[in-house]
Amino acid sequence: MKQELQASLGYLMDTKTSKGLGVFASRDVGLAEIVEVAPVIQLRSNYSELPEQLRQRVFHWARLAGLNGVHALALGYGSMYNHGNPANLRYLACNDGTAIAFVAARSINKDEELTINYNDTGGDVASGEDNWFATTGVTPIT
């Protein structure tokens, strides 16, 4: 999928929960609308060797972009979306693995928090398991 990079349809704000900062919709967003296309920095490293601060923010690029041994740090708001299960955004690699697109999985209201599902490294919105933090050894940001 070749996609032009674009500014996010979101803004950063304190969630007023233990999650801290989150990304919120700056306007109503329609089903399947692209919320953001963010460039990524590709990191060639084993996940376990990354500092925890990066493990909290990277995407499994082998699964999304077919680049084995690579994780991606999304720029823009891309690495700031909090977890939701189900989430209201899905995500996919684009521009030959140099960017990640965040797409509305349903209609989203203005000022609603934008979320992705951390459990599904393929970018889907829902998963039967909700154990990403426990299985990765990453401490939730609180």
pLDDT 10s digit of each residue in the chain, 142 long? 455 666 789 999 999 998 899 999 999 999 999 999 999 999 998 888 999 889 889 999 998 999 999 999 999 999 999 999 999 999 999 999 999 999 999 999 999 999 999 887 778 888 777 665 556 666 665 5
Distances in whole angstroms, Cα of residue 135 to Cα of each of 2, 13, 121, 132: 33, 28, 13, 5
The residues near 25 (Cβ < 8 Å, ≥ 6 apart) are: 9, 10, 35, 108, 109, 110, 111, 112, 113, 114
Domains along the chain? 10-122 (2.170.270.10)
**Phi, psi for residue 49 in degrees, rounded to 5:** -85, -10
